[in-house]
Every structure is written in structure tokens, then in C-alpha cells.
Structure 1
Amino acid sequence: MVIMTVNCSNCHQGANCRLPQCSCTSYSSPLPVKDTPQIIFYGFDDALNGQMAQHYRKLFSSDRKNPNDCPISMSLYVQHDYTDYSLVREFYKKGMEIGVHSVTHTNIDTEAKLADEAEHQKSNLAQLGSVPKEEIIGWRSPNLETAGDTQPMTLKKLGYTYDISLTYTVRKRHEKKPWPYTMDYGYPYYCEIPPCPKPTSGQKGFWEVPIIAFLDYKGAYPCAYVDGCSNSPTTEEDAFEFLWENFEDNYETRTPLGFSMHAAWFERPHNLAAMDRFIKEMTKKDDVYIVSVQKMLEWMKHPTKLSELYKLKAWGCKSASIDQQS
């Protein structure tokens, strides 16, 4: 396989690309590792229903706090079909990010399909879920199949500020991983699921959050989704080690660790127990923050030292007025 390398000659951070509007592709933190928080973000796909909500309430209860004493948060990429919009309201009020995952969950591989479904589902979430339209800024393509060159442009026109659909495969431990970046100079990586935007298809100020593959619990095969590994853990200990080893791999460089997944993974009790244990361990660390993708990108726009995170307003506490329900 030929892997396309980043064309760094076009983008020069601080010269023709300046934060917060523009961020070049990079394999390292904009700050020294010792000053960089380890960001963990969760992005769950598909319908939001009662069965899924039980898992989210357990894992992201309001008493689980980041080091700044604000509750941890996640991102939900919600499709229309089979969604209970009262739950959308609940999780938005708890401080979770609500993003879009289409209306029909079919392959959306043309500009026309993307424009239609991205616009209508944003309206559904606003009207039926009471989420302010201006806060619905993230899109994930069903089946991770994109509209190629037209995806960033179309989403930006509809008021989205980021896409989280393009995958990046890691095949061994300690391999360098890309950070989120803006599409000012196009998409420079190998296209895992065609079509992808080309390196020449720039879109100023529009963010791309790569879906970076995990390695399965045996360290043998990559999996873009946590629940999509060929070697699936069969015990709580194996599942926990799977999560922990992927965390440690990112922790060396402080590359943001993204859990792209479906909550159906938690239908196997050992997986739910392992993730519950993992999040508990993460909240004990004074340099780890579990935040939504939206909040993660605010840090990318305004890189802030661990010691000064109290200055980053976007990471402040949002009132969580709804108590955990059973």
C-alpha cells in the first residue's frame, strides 16, 4: 500500500496558517508534551434511544469530573430514524455535544444527498430536540462514506465547523498519529474509504478530526471503531487492557484519544464493565480531560498549558440540571 505523506510545503503554521482560524496538519502537540493535557473524546453514532441512554447515564454521570472539577462530556452523532428526541434534550442539558449522523443512515456519497440530510437532521435536532442550531456543528457520515471533494464545502455552507468521518489506520504500537487540523490545504492522507477530499480541495477554517484506528486487544489488527475489531475481547480484563494499551500509546505524545463507536458494544456486560473501570481510572489523573469533540477543538484553536486551563472558557462547567436517571 502506498501511503500519501503530508505536503507540509504548502502549510506553514504562524505564516500562511494562523490559529484560531487555521491549523496545519501535524503529528505532534503545539505545546511541549509536559504542558499538554491528554484529551480523550468519545463520539457515539446512530439513534439515541432508551437502551443506549442507560449506558450513557452510567458512564457519563455528572459526578465524574475532569481535573478542573467540571463534569466529563461526550459527543453524540444522532440519526433521525428511531431516535427519542426527549433523550436528545436530556443529554444536551447535561452538557453533552449533539452532532449529526444523517436522517436515514444510508450511504451519503454525493453533494445533493449530503446537503439534504445534513440540513434536515440539523433542523430535526433543533426543533424536536431543543438544541440551538448554532451549537450543532459536527457531522459524521454513515458507514464513514463521504461525498469526497464536496464534503467540507457543503458542510461549511450549512453551518458545520467540523467533520469526523475520515479514517487513518495505525498498524503498530508507538506509530505517529495525526492531530485534528483545518482543511485550508486539503486532505493530505491516504484515502481509506473512497471517495475522500483531495489534497487540492482546500476549505478555509473547516476542521477535520481524523478517526484514528485502535489496535485490537491482541495488538494484531487495526479497527477504526472500538466495536469493529476483528479480535473482540471476551472478558472484562481483555477489554480493559484493550482500552488501556491504546490510551498508553497516545499518552506518550498526548495525541487526542478518540473513541469512535456504537453503544451496542456495551450490550456485552464485560465491555461495559471495562469501559466503566477505564473512565474511573482516567478521572483519577490530573492531566487527563474527557471532553466533547467541540471542546477538544476549542483547545486546538487556543492551545492552553495544563497549568493555565482555568483560562480556557470553553472548558468551563455547563450546568447539568438533570440528575442521573435509571
Structure 2
Amino acid sequence: MSTTTRTPESQQDQARPPRPYRVGQSRPLARFGLYTAVILLALLYIYPFLIELGTAFKTDPDASNHPLNPIPTTWTTNAFHQLAQQDFSRWFANSAIVAISVTIGRVFFDSLAGYALARLRFFGRSALFAAIVAVMAVPSVVLLIPKFLVLNQIGIYNTYTGMIVPLITDAAGVFIMRQFFESVPVSIEEAAHIDGAGTFRTFWSVVLPMARPALITLTILSFQGSWNELGHFVVSRSSPSLNTLTTGVATLVSGGLGKTNQYPLKLAAALLMTIPVALLFFVFQRYIMRSSEGAVKE
């Protein structure tokens, strides 16, 4: 009868744990292909913005002869000087007034409505929330003619009030805030009630500060939506003095302020219009996905 003896080396190999499987090490070709596809998609997405940026500094003949070349043959700022001679500053001021007012209103009223739907118990709460979700599915273009008729009948057509009030609440904002408040532990509010805080005091001083990620997200979306709004401003005013950036740039695109294509003038206006929203996003983007920490201390 023979016996098999194991060498120390074989025993050491048997006792050694298996190496973890790593996709990046075993499939370098697939990883390279994935990175290449991501880079190509990023370039495809960024390229129109590069065309906008470069064309804003072109001459009219250069923009017409080389529309897809983002690098100007001759750098010039004539397009920005032409914008200064138009009502661009008035358009910018009108957009700022409307966007800031709408953003403040949406943050306040959407957070109130979201908290009421998340915490307060009243008859028809589920049906009301279902109706709000259903409103999100209605295309905004369907409501343009009814908006015009209502604004005209109540006498606020062609005013700042008519431009701001219909946008001051948003179904999507109510939905975002309601979903966030549902994630806040009820024990925090119960502790505030024990300390003598009422419903609004609990909302304002306890719950709302915890909702900073949702509030920042709602602020960015509200400002961006009202800043880029076009359809509502078309039907809510007719005076050129109430033109916003979207309606003013629309007149440029339609050729209402000059002859020829005027690509540099149009894209210079679009570039300046993009800057405030881009700055707002880059300043606050790190807060969008940040969740609240330390809400409950066990």
C-alpha cells in the first residue's frame, strides 16, 4: 500500500485563497473599446457647443463658408458689439426678473405642497397626488391657448404678473419635494412636536433645512426651466419691451433684426444666454446627489 506525501509547496498552494476576478485586467480590449465609445459620445455631445463658441467670434462670410469649423479664420467680436446695439440688455434683465421670481416661488410653494402631501392626512390626498402626477404627462404646448385666454380674461396679459404667476408652481417640483420628505424620519418631527413646535414651525425650522439636496436640485431645475421657457412667453406678452432672452433670440433666428444669415450674431446671443445656467449648475452640482447625513442619532 502506497501513500502519497504532499510537498510543502503543494500544501501552500492549496491553502492560498483564489485571486479575485477583475474584468479590467482580463479584458483590456473590451475596456479600451468602452473608453473609446465614451470619448466619441462625449465629443459628439460637445461639438455643437464648440461650434457655437467658435462661430460667435467669426465674421459673417467665414461663418457662412465654414459653418462646421469651430475655429474662426479671423477672430472678431463684432457680433457682441452688434448685440450691445440691440435690446439684449433689456432681454437679459427681463429673463433675470422672471427666472428669479419663478425660482423663489417654486422653491417655496413646491416645498409646502410636497410636505403637505407627504405628512398631512386629509381627504383626497392620494387622488390629489395622482392628479399632480397626471399633470406631468400633459404636453405644455397643449396648454398655450388656454393660458392666453385665461391671462387675457383676468387682465394680466402683457404684464410681468402674467409672465410669472402661471410658472410659479410646477408639478414636477411638487413630486420631487414630496418624495424627499417621505424619506425623512418621522421621529424627527415627533421630537419637534414634543418640544412645542407647530406644523409650520416643524416644516420651516426642522424638516426644510434637511431638504437642502432636494431644494438645490429644485432651484437649478426651476431656474433653468424658466430661463429657457419660450412657449409661455410667446402667449403671455406681445410688447417688445417684455421680450425675454428666448423670445428676443427667436426674433434673431427668424431674421427679424437684420438681413443675411447672421450666424455669429445669433450664436453669440445663444452663448451669452447659456452662461448663467451653466454657472449655476457648475456651482451647485456637487450638492445635487448629496443626501442628508446624521438625521437620527441612535
On whether the aligned pair clears a TM of 0.5, the verdict is: no
How does the TM-score come out when normalised to structure 1?
0.23
More helix by share: 2
How does the TM-score come out when normalised to structure 2?
0.24
More strand by share: 1
